[in-house]
Amino acid sequence: MFDDKRPEELAYVGRSSDRPDTMEKLTGEATYVSDMRLPGMLHAQVKKSPHARARIVRIDTGKAAAMPGVRAIITGDEVDVHIGLYIVDKYVLAKGEVRHYGEAVAAVAADSLEEARAAADAIEVEYEVLPPVLHHMDALKPDAPLVHPDLGSYGYVAAAFTPMPGTNIANHTKLRKGDVDKGFAEAAYIVEREYDCPSVQHVPMETHVAIVQWGKGDRVSIWTSAQSPFTVRNLFCHAFGLAHAQVRVQIPYVGGGFGGKAGIGVEPLCAVLSRKAGGRPVKFQATREEEFSLLPCRSALTYRIKTGVSAEGKIVAQQMTMYWDSGAYADYAVNVTRASGYSASGPYEIPNAWVDAYTIYTNKPYGTAYRGFGHVEFHWAVERHMELVAQAIGMDPLLFRLKNALRPGSKTLTGETIQKNTGNVVACIEDAARRIHYGDLTPEEKERQKQTGWKIGKGVAALHKAPAMPPFTATAVILKMNEDGSVLVNLALTDYGQGTYTSIRQIVAERLGFPPKKIRVAFENDTDRDPYDWQTVASKGLVLSGNAAILAAEDLLKNAYDVAAQALHANPRDLAHDGERVFLRHHPDKGVSFSSMAVGLALPNGNGIGGPLIGVGRYIAQGLSNLNKETGEGTPALDWTFGAHGMIVEVNEESGEYRVLKVASVYDVGRAINPDMVRGQAIGGMMQGLGTATCEGYIYDKDGRLLNPSFTDNKIPTAKDLPLEVECAVVETPQIDGPYGARGVGEHSMISVAPALGNAIQKATGAELTHMPMRFEDVWRALENREPIDNWITKSPVGSCRSAPEARPKE
């Protein structure tokens, strides 16, 4: 797809452009599902489990059913509907047993919210509380209770996943490259460390919300705040045994997703209520508290890395063991494990590698996709580890990174060869380092340090990520010409703020040679009207849909040329066009306007030719393969986006307080289709990464109850938390098969922010942090060599991460 064009040859790509959605969002006109009300609509509320694990002995809905306004009540016993993306392990409502705090056990639909709430409160549930398995390391112990005793009977996607019935392991991803034993035997140094991070919330500002109407004849209409209309439809149809033609999914503006709305969410719950209420539409919107525990979060991770290094500082062998906390259901977590497994080393070449990545069921809210898809979590480990290994062998960490970074000719963990056009992580690392004056303090910084007494430190961390998606992921874009010669773009890739549609519009404009203002991208997505897209995830949107958009533009032009050729009695090869018309190259004054051809050209005598002009572009990922389940070998990566952050921090050694003075982020995006959109993703993701690094995380009590399911005790960064200085830059090594050379960057900005901070803190003070978030107290404890805080953010109150089984489960 890539056109080898210099920036000055491009009219729209690579330049600033207005976002087509800002006007509506700035005036309050943009309609989100939370704003929608349908005639006759009912409001749903759920009854949630206060226990992490319990048998449901009895549910009495009698009292609730008699309350005013109540139109439908449903319990798990009544709905035999299984849901699951990769492993079909979840019910719409808990059945028989609750598996996590906050899980829905019953639901009510009523005329008003208040009536629904009152009725839900009046539902009586008798539980037999069972001992929960809470920490993922405890869940691996032989005597651990099984979260899913029936795991062996569940359906799953066998090409990619390996559940282990009779254990709490939902998936085991393996990767074997070279000969690790030999590598370790040859190593001059061996360093082994363990790192961890807790579960966190995505925190879209609009919580999950859906309206579902189960109409007569089983025709179902769904309006939902979601990222992937076709995945919602597909999973919904599978769960309920409906034909795809019976179900329509519409997605208006979406108030943030970050992966938490990638799959299916509250739609089935609304659906069963609507069906029971005789087809009245039912709306359910999660409260912020429900967003934390009823809906999924990001999985916690414990990552153990053992690295063998040669005397010259080259990594010769690495053994990597990831323990992912899936929570009660597998959802996307099994695929996070898989995708993290094949990228587990970060952007470094490891000649002999051994990866075991486990997804582990526990009795906690379940994990799903979250911006970075595992890479934020495991890069925390990898990039702290690189720092600690460098320190252990007495080498500068930057030099150690550069020495081991992937370069053209290097082989990734799965055996893919890095090419000149794959991207340039070395340039990213070097530029990030340069931007923070890595290595020493400037005179101003020295002066500041003297004034404040706070120690200044600088750190760098690198990153890489490829889209985690099936190797045959596909999408389509349709262009429809309007009567006036302007163009409407339809696609089901969802733009919930990332700015993809702005870039798609520029790509279409570039290829058509039309000014962007003549191109409208339809914002609301609709499975009845838009062509298929798999999901809006994985930073693959611009690449795949951008390519499809180019093909669609070419198709539209071809169709227009065909009509013009007939009208002008010319060979299409003799034609050219501008933004208004198609004309003879040799006689530019002879031509036909796009507007006259848009819906079919009427000849002077009244005859018509052509018909409405449309352009269709279909694109499917090329040349990717499934991974060998034993060795991990294969080609999983559509593209690799590399990047690095440089961070300057000042730390008070007495208290552990710190301030981020500067962040400089550099990514190899191939081509920045729209620099403002890239910057928006870069800074937005960086701040989200800082949240993860500094303050976010689930804290549970010993019974598995979530203690901080709200903004009161689960803080996210505010404007005041901005680093004093923020810089972002791009390297542009074109991706040969990306649209105009572009590759994705939506998730990457969040990756490796935490280790850059950890590395900078360590440089400033020597504090060796191996868990995130890095709260001030954690820094203080590290400086004082105190035990980490005994809570679920850092350390299990019942079983420490350090109690992990020493040996790998037997092959």
Partner 1 sequence: MKITLTVNGDRYERECAEHHTLLRFIRETLGLTGTKEGCGMGECGACTVIMNGRAVNSCMVLAAEADGAVIQTIEGEAKGPTLSDIQASFERNHAVQCGFCTPGMVMSVKELLASDPHPSVDAIKEAVEGNFCRCTGYTQIVEAVTELTGTGAKGGLDHV
Partner 2 sequence: MLHPFRYLAPQSAQELAAMLADHASDGKILAGGTDLIPNIRNGVFKPSVVIDVKKLPDASSLRLGADGLSLGPAVTVNDILRSKDARERYPVLCACAHELASHQVRNRATVAGNVVNASPCSDMAPALLCLDAVAVIGSGTGQRELPFREFFTGVKKTALKPGEWLDRIVVPASSAGARGSYLKLKRIAGHDLGIVGVLFVRLGGSLRFGVSSAAPTPVLVDTVTAKDGPDQAAATVLGSVSPISDVRGTKEYRQHMIGVFVRRLLAEVK
By beta-carbon proximity to ligand FES, the closer residue of 256 and 675 is 256
Residue 785 lies near partner 2 (rule: CB under 8 A): no
Cβ neighbors of 572 (< 8 A, separation 6 or more) are 558, 561, 562, 564, 565
Q: Which one of residues 433, 479, 731, 757 is an interface residue with partner 1 (CB under 8 A)?
A: 731
Tell me which residue has tokens 């016993």.
Answer: 77
Q: Which does 498 bind (CB under 5 to 8 A by kind): partner 1, partner 2, ligand FES, none?
A: partner 1
Q: Is 510 helix (H, G, I), strand (E, B) or coil?
A: helix
Hey, which residues between 703 and 722 contact partner 2 (CB under 8 A)?
707-708, 712-713, 715-721
Element containing residue 525 per DSSP (H, E): strand 525-526
Residue 205 lies near ligand FES (rule: CB under 6 A): yes
By beta-carbon proximity to partner 1, the closer residue of 746 and 799 is 746
Number of residues that bind ligand FES (CB under 6 A): 3
CB of 496 to ligand FES, least distance (A): 8
By beta-carbon proximity to ligand FES, the closer residue of 32 and 236 is 32
Rounded to 10 degrees, the C-alpha dihedral 284/288/293/294 comes to 0
Q: In Å, how far are 208, 295, 319, 711, 751 from 682, measured between CA atoms?
A: 25, 27, 31, 24, 10
Q: Which one of residues 81, 197, 413, 687 is an interface residue with partner 1 (CB under 8 A)?
A: 687
Q: How far apart are CA 606 and CA 609, in angstroms?
A: 10
By beta-carbon proximity to partner 2, the closer residue of 629 and 659 is 659
Contact pattern for partner 1 over residues 189 through 208, marking x by CB under 8 A: -------------xxxxxx-
Residue 23 lies near ligand FES (rule: CB under 6 A): no
Q: How far apart are CA 261 and CA 204, in angstroms?
A: 9
Tell me which residue has tokens 């207005």.
Answer: 18
Residue 497 lies near ligand FES (rule: CB under 6 A): yes
In DSSP notation, 593-625 reads EHHHHTEEEEPTTS-EEEEE-EEEEEEE--S--
Tell me which residue has tokens 């009695």.
Answer: 569
By beta-carbon proximity to partner 2, the closer residue of 10 and 113 is 113
301 near 320, Cβ under 8 Å?
no
Taking Cα atoms as reference points, which of 452, 425, 396, 410 lies closest to residue 751? 425
Pairing mode of beta strands 209-215, 282-285: antiparallel
| Helices within 405-499 (DSSP H only) | 425-435, 443-452
CB of 26 to ligand FES, least distance (A): 11
Residue 145 lies near ligand FES (rule: CB under 6 A): no
Contact pattern for partner 2 over residues 111 through 130, marking x by CB under 8 A: --xx--xx------------
Contact pattern for partner 1 over residues 469 through 508, marking x by CB under 8 A: ---------------------------xxxx---------
- Cis ω before 773 (30° cut-off from 0): yes
Q: In Å, how far are 238, 274, 612, 669, 782 from 242, measured between CA atoms?
A: 7, 15, 33, 41, 56
Q: How far apart are CA 403 and CA 405, in angstroms?
A: 6
By beta-carbon proximity to partner 2, the closer residue of 308 and 717 is 717
By beta-carbon proximity to partner 2, the closer residue of 222 and 774 is 774
Q: Which one of residues 69, 178, 215, 256 is an interface residue with ligand FES (CB under 6 A)?
A: 256
Q: Which does 250 bind (CB under 5 to 8 A by kind): partner 1, partner 2, ligand FES, none?
A: none
Handedness of CA 80, 86, 87, 93 (dihedral sign): negative
- Residues near ligand FES, by CB under 6 A: 205, 256, 497
- Residues near partner 1, by CB under 8 A: 18-19, 21-32, 34-35, 37, 202-207, 253-258, 287-288, 427, 431, 496-499, 666, 672, 675-680, 682-688, 710-712, 716-720, 722, 726-732
- Residues near partner 2, by CB under 8 A: 113-114, 117-118, 654-655, 657, 659, 694-695, 699, 707-708, 712-713, 715-721, 775-777, 780-781, 786, 789, 791
